[in-house]
């Protein structure tokens, strides 16, 4: 599968500066388990990025970041409210249930992937009425950018987070594509996180140019109490932690993360514009980050597949004959490949 | 902390061939989650190394490898028998309890770190007598090389594994330092694993030259049923798994793992010989792998610390005034540093 | 709250024969933890009732019975399919998640409380497509009678169970109101359980006349492997187990359970007939067991509440001004109280 | 097995006043899940007994009480220090590990069953030194009376609890035989619990005359936060909770619990006196509660067994030919049976 691969942003290799940072980190006998200088520097770097003293914990996968963060917020008898298509609900083999000791994820619907305040309010009210028989409302998790490629605006986050906090819930953000959301919004990392009420962020880097690096970022360090033990007992404390910290330092350095995301988003926009112009096509969601959901005539989809372009057919109801597909761009997506795909689609239509 | 660091074998960086393999793996848009060619090749390579069709699952940490493997063997109501100083019992923040859903580790004593058959037999008999009130004997885990730097001989493993199997227990080996044991024994990987009755091996690479690579190796592939989901839900399935697989392929290639371990063991032997000759010194264990436990006069220990040599003081009873320390050598330990330490010790004595 | 209490069937005391059995069981120094003769007799009695050698395990609550049974069927990485309003999903504070170690309950909708085969098929297909990223289809749980007071017919159970088994799922029945379903159907306990494909039954007695007795019934005794340890470690193995076994023996004796359920169902039918005739009333579900869901004019509901009748207002959409309520009858419901309620409703209308 | 049964105090039936209370509670349609008047009265009664506002939660088994209480004190990554023979460690099939989500029980030795402060101090120091790699010291659990039939004096409890609290640990008491300890000490319930530093008590009643009643008692009600949900999700919240509350009310009423325990202790003392006088006998522990551990000549033990007396042979090292046995007396033990046993022993000796 060569460069015509739009199946996911995790098919890309690491970008050059991050790989270079790993190579540079590979020298000397250094304290293990996070006692090294790079890990210390990461605390400072992340605090600058977020304009606040944060506690940042690198891990290797997004599932780990999400499940660890949610376990910190929700007791085993807690309810975690998420969008019904959230990665934590459908794509992590019940990792949050595992890490939390059995908390329950309660999925809320919404066509554009963004939880509606009314649905959250209703779910909490139901729990309150049920009392001890039901799980206790404990956490809200928002995916930014969403699973449908849309982006919460800061005021939308603030409204949901405010509602959550009225009821004592912690607020988590699954930022597997946080950088993609950031560059779309054109606002600061602080504005779309703690300034909008987010308590804990799963900050993604792997989909945006790292080998294997994500981080759990606590904006109130008191919330991170004992978190190190959670990370350790789940096998996510590396002995040579410097290799994770180095990736994240490079990620932040010179705004590499934003540049990477900007490119990915631009490629997705180009895909959307081009495919939207194909006869019989319909964009199924606003393209605000690096994912494109589009319905195309069956013949076009088949032609693209036949030409070796990689992407997923996606379940979507009410399209008649048309076939929905998902295309994902990354920092590594090349304009020539986008052009090739658009050309093939136009020709097939 | 420069090269005079003998605190652990995990303070070393990655060795050159493994880092090179990571760099080489960094090209192209490739299938994620283990669908790549390197991961496929790893299955073959490991099967050759172990002279049998194995199922091998790369993960990033030894804690993950151990806890996942034990969870596969022991139900939540199971007993896992280990040495009382085993890493799984004291150094993993209850990871096996977490991954297994609450199984109980039962520590057996033994001065040299090697479980005695009589103790295992007695523990199982106690459980059998207690019946439903006690946890069910489910697994035996052996650490190879042991926490005390000693090594089980194949016939010792076979005797313990045979006893375990008589009673229906699965047999796990924590091989964080498997290569060190191998080169000490001079036997094949198969002989000290499945040919001696081991069902599942946590194969370490990180302490022996990798950045971050361990593997769970099942010798009976039926035992690996659903293991992928355990790995996934614990956050240990990397999206860019090729970066783990690449490390392990390089690890096996040209017997790199054995060369690395041989060097580490040689450095430890040199340390043991030299320190054993210091006046007032006593070796506390046979030095069969890459760890040295030695009691030294307090003044010698203080002098070494003062000279900037890194190592741990180690709890050990009945030494009178003498102080026990642990020194660990790795593939990266340099003969010059060993000589410097021995020189400093001799001078202080 | 005197006898005008229709809030639930668990507000009733124990019925006389069951209380008498508890008193009779209270003599002598007897083997504990189920080694007593009554517990042995219960195995026989249950096997006769179900026309098959069963393994029956008494516990004190329905939540315990359900969660233990489901944990036996589903691994921690498993999916348990249930109706979206199932007691296990909404009323047990995530007990199944707790007992299973984090399995995921996936709720399927259906207006009448009975899972539809098409929905189950689709959910399994989704899981299959998602592979390792999603929980593994492991169990189906059916509530009989349902949360909406309706009853699955044997052929409906058989269809769902057949589908489940095609895909390797175990089939559980939450029979908190199993007796009520039985007498409605007029078929044998075997016909609505194992003959229709049910593997494990949570058999309720508490709502139908016991002090505190439920049972987990395995129809294939091999499925009950190690179940005793699950019961023990969850604190549900009584030392004086004879007091639970005695209740269940009395429950089966002379078909007490059926008589009790018949009375409860009859009272519910009388309520349904009477309330259905009130002006502006609408029955919201078929009344097939001992629960009545009915929409009434707000004034009627208020009048009943004012007159001291106990029942719940129930969430139900699309009723306009009308108010939905739930009334539950039990073995202890008296015809006079039903008449009084109906009289008050008629007068208010 | 008639009245010659000294195997355990849980072989006895319920005592008359408690059974009567259950019968009396069996009237009327009453609020379920603890909304009844008896449960409310129990709060008051327990608060009077303990001279303090307590929060008391009835459950049916001691395993449930212990595991729920410990889960409230210890996080999943916590260490729970107990005596190495504690019921929670050896007789509950890892219930504390299950309820806590994987916390680790660390057993401390002591010949008389009473944890020594020095051992606790050392264990905590070890954990502190290990840091994140080890479980976090979280709770201390004391068994009162101990598994060896001895009793902690209030000042001993205070010393251990004080040490525990210096290090931030919560203090639990497994009071399965709390009443037996109380009457031995001749002090108040408050003195041996919260006044000595106990935070949470598992208060036993089943072994001392109830059908099935234990309670978790929190002396600081803030510590009981969300405990109701823990009880619910483990299946230990009865719908007809009044039947548990009634037992405990009767247990406290007119000091029934103390009278029962006094009788049991007296019977045990009589056994100890009598057996101690047998030629070749040796009492293995002080008999301070209702359990007797005694070494007897093999012929005597065999003779008692042959005569139909029920008791356990008990593992005990260093006795040479003599055989250790355990005898347990209860409220229901009759003086005539004690005399018969002593007679048989004397004759055999």
Q: For chain B (length 349 residues), average pLDDT per consecutive 10?
A: 84 97 95 96 98 98 98 98 97 98 98 98 97 97 98 98 98 98 98 98 98 98 97 98 98 98 98 96 98 98 97 93 97 97 95
Residue among B75, B230, B233 minimizing CB distance to C226: B75
| Pairwise CB contact (< 8 Å): B63 & A235 | yes
Evaluate if residue D120 carries a pLDDT over 90: yes
| Pairwise CB contact (< 8 Å): B102 & D92 | no
Determine contact: C237 vs chain B, CB below 8 A: yes
Determine contact: D239 vs chain A, CB below 8 A: no
| Pairwise CB contact (< 8 Å): B102 & C233 | yes
Residue B132 DSSP symbol: G
Q: D100: nearest CA in chain C?
A: C98
Determine contact: C101 vs chain A, CB below 8 A: yes
Smallest CA–CA separation between B83 and chain D, in Å?
14
CB count in 10 Å sphere of residue C250: 26
Residue among C136, C226, C229 minimizing CB distance to B229: C136
Determine contact: A97 vs chain C, CB below 8 A: yes
In chain A, residues with a C-beta closer than 8 Å to the C-beta of C102 are: 94, 97-98, 100-102
Residue among C98, C104, C126 minimizing CB distance to A94: C104
| Pairwise CB contact (< 8 Å): C90 & A132 | no
Torsional sign, CA B335, B337, B342, B346 = positive
Smallest CA–CA separation between C78 and chain A, in Å?
8
| Pairwise CB contact (< 8 Å): C13 & D28 | yes
Question: Above 0.95 for ipTM, yes or no?
Answer: yes
Cα A261 to Cα A16, A205, A256, A312: the distances in Å are 15, 10, 9, 21
Most B CBs within 10 Å: which of C229, C231, C241, as the mutation test of the B interface? C229
Taking a C-beta distance cutoff of 8 angstroms, is the pair D95, D133 a contact?
no
CA distance C182 to C128: 35
Give the A window 114-153 contacts with C, CB below 8 Å: 126, 130, 132-135
Determine contact: B85 vs chain D, CB below 8 A: no
| Pairwise CB contact (< 8 Å): B132 & C229 | yes
Evaluate if residue A169 carries a pLDDT over 80: yes
Determine contact: D33 vs chain A, CB below 8 A: yes
CA distance D15 to D23: 13
In chain C, residues with a C-beta closer than 8 Å to the C-beta of B230 are: 77
Determine contact: A75 vs chain D, CB below 8 A: yes
Taking a C-beta distance cutoff of 8 angstroms, is the pair B308, B4 a contact?
yes
What per-residue confidence (pLDDT) applies to A104? 98
| Pairwise CB contact (< 8 Å): C77 & B233 | yes
Determine contact: D105 vs chain B, CB below 8 A: yes
CA distance C107 to D115: 49
Reported as a pLDDT band with limits 50, 70 and 90, residue D100 is: very high
Maximal C-alpha separation, chain B: 62
CA distance D115 to A83: 50
Smallest CA–CA separation between A28 and chain B, in Å?
6
What per-residue confidence (pLDDT) applies to A1? 46
What per-residue confidence (pLDDT) applies to D1? 46
| Pairwise CB contact (< 8 Å): A2 & B29 | yes
Taking a C-beta distance cutoff of 8 angstroms, is the pair A329, A267 a contact?
yes
Taking a C-beta distance cutoff of 8 angstroms, is the pair D149, D287 a contact?
yes
pLDDT under 70: residue ranges of chain C: 1-2
In chain B, residues with a C-beta closer than 8 Å to the C-beta of A264 are: none
Q: Are strands D323-328 and D312-313 parallel, antiparallel or unpaired?
A: antiparallel
For D238-265, what is the mean pLDDT? 98
What per-residue confidence (pLDDT) applies to C349? 87
In chain C, residues with a C-beta closer than 8 Å to the C-beta of A104 are: 94, 97, 105
What per-residue confidence (pLDDT) applies to C2? 57
| Pairwise CB contact (< 8 Å): C226 & B136 | yes
For D223-229, what is the mean pLDDT? 98
Most B CBs within 10 Å: which of A29, A98, A212, A232, as the mutation test of the B interface? A29
| For chain C, the helix, strand and coil percentages under 3-state DSSP, each to the nearest 5 | 45, 15, 40
| Pairwise CB contact (< 8 Å): D332 & C29 | yes
In chain B, residues with a C-beta closer than 8 Å to the C-beta of D126 are: 315
What per-residue confidence (pLDDT) applies to B2? 57
Looking from the CA of A240 toward its CB, the CA atoms found within 13 Å total: 28
In chain D, residues with a C-beta closer than 8 Å to the C-beta of C8 are: 32, 239
Determine contact: B225 vs chain C, CB below 8 A: no
pTM for the full model? 0.97
Determine contact: D8 vs chain C, CB below 8 A: yes
Determine contact: B207 vs chain A, CB below 8 A: yes
Neighbours of chain C (3+ CB pairs under 8 A): A, B, D
For A277-298, what is the mean pLDDT? 97
CA distance C256 to C18: 9
| Pairwise CB contact (< 8 Å): D90 & B132 | no
Q: Which residues pair with C137 in a beta bridge?
A: C79
């Amino acid at each position: 599968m060569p460069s015509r691969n739009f199946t996911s942003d995790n098919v890309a290799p690491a970008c050059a500066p991050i790989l270079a940072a790993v190579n540079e980190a590979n020298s000397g006998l250094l304290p293990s388990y996070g006692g090294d200088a790079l890990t210390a520097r990461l605390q400072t770097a992340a605090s600058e990025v977020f304009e606040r003293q944060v506690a940042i914990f690198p891990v290797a996968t997004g599932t780990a970041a999400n499940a660890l963060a949610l376990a910190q917020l929700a007791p085993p008898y807690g309810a975690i409210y998420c969008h019904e298509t959230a990665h934590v609900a459908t794509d992590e083999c019940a990792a949050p249930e595992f890490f939390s000791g059995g908390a329950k994820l309660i999925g809320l619907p919404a066509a554009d992937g963004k939880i509606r305040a009314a649905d959250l309010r209703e779910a909490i009210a139901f729990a309150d009425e049920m009392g001890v028989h039901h799980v206790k409302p404990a956490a809200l998790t928002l995916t930014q950018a969403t699973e449908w490629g849309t982006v919460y605006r800061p005021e939308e986050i603030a409204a949901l987070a405010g509602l959550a906090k009225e009821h004592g819930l912690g607020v988590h953000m699954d930022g597997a594509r946080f950088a993609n959301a950031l560059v779309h919004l054109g606002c600061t990392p602080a504005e779309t996180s703690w300034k909008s009420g987010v308590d804990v962020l799963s900050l993604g880097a792997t989909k945006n140019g790292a080998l294997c690096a994500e981080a759990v970022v606590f904006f109130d360090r008191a919330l991170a109490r004992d978190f190190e033990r959670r990370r350790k007992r789940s096998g996510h404390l590396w002995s040579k932690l410097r290799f994770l910290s180095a990736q994240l330092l490079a990620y932040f350095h010179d705004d590499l993360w934003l540049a990477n995301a900007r490119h990915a988003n631009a490629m997705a926009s180009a895909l959307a514009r081009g495919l939207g112009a194909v006869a019989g096509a319909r964009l199924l969601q606003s393209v605000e980050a690096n994912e494109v959901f589009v319905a195309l005539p069956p013949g076009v989809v088949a032609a693209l597949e036949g030409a070796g372009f990689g992407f997923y057919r996606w379940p979507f109801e009410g399209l008649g004959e048309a076939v929905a597909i998902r295309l994902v761009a990354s920092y590594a997506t090349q304009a020539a490949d986008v052009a090739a795909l658009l050309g093939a689609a136009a020709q097939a239509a």
